[in-house]
Chains A and B, each alone.
Chain A
Amino acid sequence: MNESVTRPAFAHSPGLQPGPKMFSDLAPLTDAVTLSVDGQPVRARAGETVAACLLRAGVPYNRLTPVSGAPRLPYCMIGHCFECLVEIDGIGNRQACLTLVRDGMKVRRQDGAPPALEPSVP
């Protein structure tokens, strides 16, 4: 079909293997901020959500499920389904579709249950 079929299994590769490009910009990014996603710089439109930024970047998933390791991407974009969970600045299970991007923000995709959610916070 297309290159998506032959893509390596990204569950084992920490890099941002691109998925099929599902979204494109209405206009070129001006007014951009830069955040890091799994350590790699990604540009975002100021004022948008982390979920929008991840979908523009074409990441193939934002989390792997704790149960089977299946990849997931945002589904509802309005805060209901919780598929968009990521780790943001060290705190796990944040809803990417409700969180606005910030310059220098550190986003990590989640592999299973996020370590940051273990009761280590006071």
Chain B
Amino acid sequence: MSINAPLPDADVIIVGCGPAGMAAAVTLAEAGRSVIVLDMQPAPGGQIFRSLEANLCDTSPAGQSLLAALGPAYRAGADLIRRFRAFSGACPGIDYRPQTTVWEVRPDGTVGWLQGMNAGYVRGRQVLLAHGAMERPVPFPGWTLPGVMTAGAVQTLLKAGHLKPSGRIVLAGTGPLLLLLANQLHQLGVKPALVGRTDRLSDSVRAARHLRPGGLVPLVKGLGWLGRLKLAGVKSVTGLENLAAHGTQNVESVSFTVGGKRQTLPCDLLIVHDGIVPAIDIPNAAGLRLQWDGPNASWRPATTPDGLGASTLPPEMSAGPCVLRVTGDARRIGGADAAMAHGRVAAQAILAALDHGAGPSADALRAVGKALSVRPFLDAAFPPGLAQALPDDDTIVCRCEELTAGELREKIRSGFRNMDALRGETRCGMGPCQGRSCMVTAARLLQNETRAAGCPPTFRGRPPIRPIPLGAVATLSGLDPRATIRLTLEDKPENASEDTVDAPAE
């Protein structure tokens, strides 16, 4: 750290309070380190343990049946959350800041945050990115219609909104989460009209050779889910292709092809899921090197086994060595057990970096390997389906700016042959979501049109990666007074031109 740099606010800043972030925070706090944990959710838990604390307190019959439907894997987070809470407010301990959105992370350990109408920076000697995964974007005809939602969205509404879907429901896609949700719905008395899977029996057969002893429990669990759905008479198909949603103001029907035959079903709610992928918004904007995971058709940050990222920024752009580590599903999809195991590994590596400790224990590393050993099987059994083929010309790719695959193809053919030129020309990726939903499709279209191979290119990530209200920019706090940062506000949808402001800190 250079002499002029402000003092760090904590030894470690952790982005994300899911299983990975909590496991790391507890390990660091136990070792006497000060930790700041930033998370945009209102309570600890991340995706899998969302609203767990509140739901455990709910003793009503409806609350109890919800807990039963969500199953033991959900309740399993209670102990970790309790340990996390025990360190919150202690000194030194965990300074937990919920409802706080991170909009910038720099390789030198500076993190930009937004809470309501306040924004600022905090600095950590080390930073751990535990911001999790997102569902794979699935551009298909009609996917922007009201009435199309992701499986994760419906699960979130169950856990945090106590709302269950009603009406004519179709689930389409692939992956454990889709089957998990179908089961949870079934247990709550919701009967979908169809569970349409894109995976096929041949995928399972191919996957079988990847089966390791560690994979038997998930396998038995999955077969149990399928069996229960079958018993309940839920209609199910495999090998679903060419999904489309139809309607003018909302979904009215869905159509798809199975075994060469086109079918149409009336539908009020289409729930889609095509597996989850690491969220790369923060790593990409922080300038971390990304790599392409072919079988999963997704990017992930290139890291050492203990999570250390590699900065691609030229040295003059950062003040010292890269102190960013990535853990949990943000690093590599592995589910909650792998996330907790790796959170501990990353924390041990951070402790070593802070005071030259021994680094990750063999025990902790083994736990990661064990938890990840089921992945090759799951990856082969549930290959990307809805997003496997590139979308037709008429299908919207960029939801924010409503750009179709055809429009992007045409621009690429007319000479906009790199991601940033394409973004500048079309505004693809410039809307409020900053490319989270469109980037992977745009990159694949570009590679396809230019016959390029290798790791697909990304948009250059630019802070703020999440919009900051102007009022909050004006009150930005926590930076060295001598330092000035340049914020680009071109992500604001109402700004047709690129608008930048110089934001001197308090």
A, B co-complexed: yes
**Interface residues, chain A, CB within 8 Å of chain B?**
1, 4-5, 7, 9-10, 19-27, 45, 47-49, 52, 55-56, 60-61, 65-68, 70-83, 85, 91, 93, 97-98, 100, 113-114, 117-119, 121-122
Q: With A26-B162, A80-B436, A93-B432 known to touch, is A20 a contact of B494 (CB < 8 Å)?
A: no
Asked whether any CB of chain A lies closer than 8 Å to the CB of B166, the reply is yes
Q: With A77-B149, A81-B437 known to touch, is A48 a contact of B249 (CB < 8 Å)?
A: no
Instruction: Report yes or no: A81 in contact with B164, Cβ–Cβ below 8 A.
Output: no
Residue of A nearest to B499 (CB): A119
Asked whether any CB of chain A lies closer than 8 Å to the CB of B91, the reply is no
Partner of B146, one of A5, A25, A49, A73: A73
Residue of B nearest to A74 (CB): B153
Instruction: Report yes or no: A27 in contact with B162, Cβ–Cβ below 8 A.
Output: yes
Residue of B nearest to A98 (CB): B40
Residue of B nearest to A91 (CB): B469
Instruction: Report yes or no: A117 in contact with B61, Cβ–Cβ below 8 A.
Output: no
| Complex Cα spacing A24 to B41, Å | 23
- The residue among A67, A75, A121 with the most chain B CB atoms within 10 A of its own CB is A75
Please name 5 pairs of A and B residues whose Cβ atoms are closer than 8 Å in the assembled complex, sorted by A: A45-B161, A45-B162, A97-B156, A98-B101, A119-B470
| Complex Cα spacing A80 to B279, Å | 9
Min C-beta distance of A59 to chain B, whole Å: 9
**Interface residues, chain B, CB within 8 Å of chain A?**
40-42, 47, 54, 60-63, 65-66, 99, 101, 117, 134-135, 144, 146-150, 152-154, 156-158, 160-167, 188, 247, 249-250, 252-253, 266, 268-269, 279, 399-402, 431-433, 436-437, 467, 469-471, 474, 492-494
Partner of A82, one of B156, B402, B432: B432
Chain B residues in 8 Å Cβ range of A9: 249
Partner of B147, one of A73, A113, A121: A73
| Complex Cα spacing A61 to B188, Å | 26
Min C-beta distance of B100 to chain A, whole Å: 10
Instruction: Report yes or no: B494 in contact with A56, Cβ–Cβ below 8 A.
Output: no
Chain B residues in 8 Å Cβ range of A119: 470
| Complex Cα spacing A26 to B157, Å | 11
The 7 A-B pairs with the shortest beta carbon distances in the complex, nearest first, are A52-B161, A27-B62, A77-B153, A121-B471, A113-B494, A73-B146, A82-B432
Min C-beta distance of B60 to chain A, whole Å: 6
Instruction: Report yes or no: B157 in contact with A55, Cβ–Cβ below 8 A.
Output: yes
Partner of B162, one of A21, A25, A71: A25
| Complex Cα spacing A52 to B153, Å | 10
Min C-beta distance of B126 to chain A, whole Å: 25
Min C-beta distance of B467 to chain A, whole Å: 6
- The residue among A4, A77, A119 with the most chain B CB atoms within 10 A of its own CB is A77
Partner of B402, one of A26, A67, A118: A67
Min C-beta distance of A69 to chain B, whole Å: 10
| Complex Cα spacing A60 to B147, Å | 9
Q: Total number of A-B contacts with CB less than 8 angstroms?
A: 168
Q: With A27-B162, A98-B99, A98-B101 known to touch, is A60 a contact of B249 (CB < 8 Å)?
A: yes
Instruction: Report yes or no: A77 in contact with B433, Cβ–Cβ below 8 A.
Output: no
Specify the main secondary structure of chain A where it touches its partner.
loop
- The residue among B40, B266, B474 with the most chain A CB atoms within 10 A of its own CB is B40
Chain A residues in 8 Å Cβ range of B153: 74-78
Instruction: Report yes or no: A78 in contact with B164, Cβ–Cβ below 8 A.
Output: no
Q: With A23-B166, A27-B60 known to touch, is A81 a contact of B402 (CB < 8 Å)?
A: no
Instruction: Report yes or no: A21 in contact with B167, Cβ–Cβ below 8 A.
Output: yes
| Complex Cα spacing A82 to B437, Å | 10
Instruction: Report yes or no: A19 in contact with B493, Cβ–Cβ below 8 A.
Output: no
Instruction: Report yes or no: A77 in contact with B60, Cβ–Cβ below 8 A.
Output: no
Instruction: Report yes or no: B494 in contact with A72, Cβ–Cβ below 8 A.
Output: no
Chain A residues in 8 Å Cβ range of B436: 80-82
| Complex Cα spacing A82 to B492, Å | 12
Instruction: Report yes or no: B266 in contact with A1, Cβ–Cβ below 8 A.
Output: yes
| Complex Cα spacing A113 to B152, Å | 27
Min C-beta distance of B266 to chain A, whole Å: 6
Partner of B165, one of A10, A22, A61: A22
Instruction: Report yes or no: A66 in contact with B167, Cβ–Cβ below 8 A.
Output: no
Instruction: Report yes or no: B156 in contact with A78, Cβ–Cβ below 8 A.
Output: yes
Instruction: Report yes or no: A81 in contact with B433, Cβ–Cβ below 8 A.
Output: yes
Min C-beta distance of A111 to chain B, whole Å: 12
| Complex Cα spacing A107 to B176, Å | 36
Min C-beta distance of B112 to chain A, whole Å: 16
Min C-beta distance of A21 to chain B, whole Å: 6
Residue of A nearest to B188 (CB): A26
Instruction: Report yes or no: A71 in contact with B249, Cβ–Cβ below 8 A.
Output: yes
Chain B residues in 8 Å Cβ range of A48: 160-162
Min C-beta distance of A76 to chain B, whole Å: 5
| Complex Cα spacing A74 to B148, Å | 9
Chain A residues in 8 Å Cβ range of B162: 25-27, 45, 48
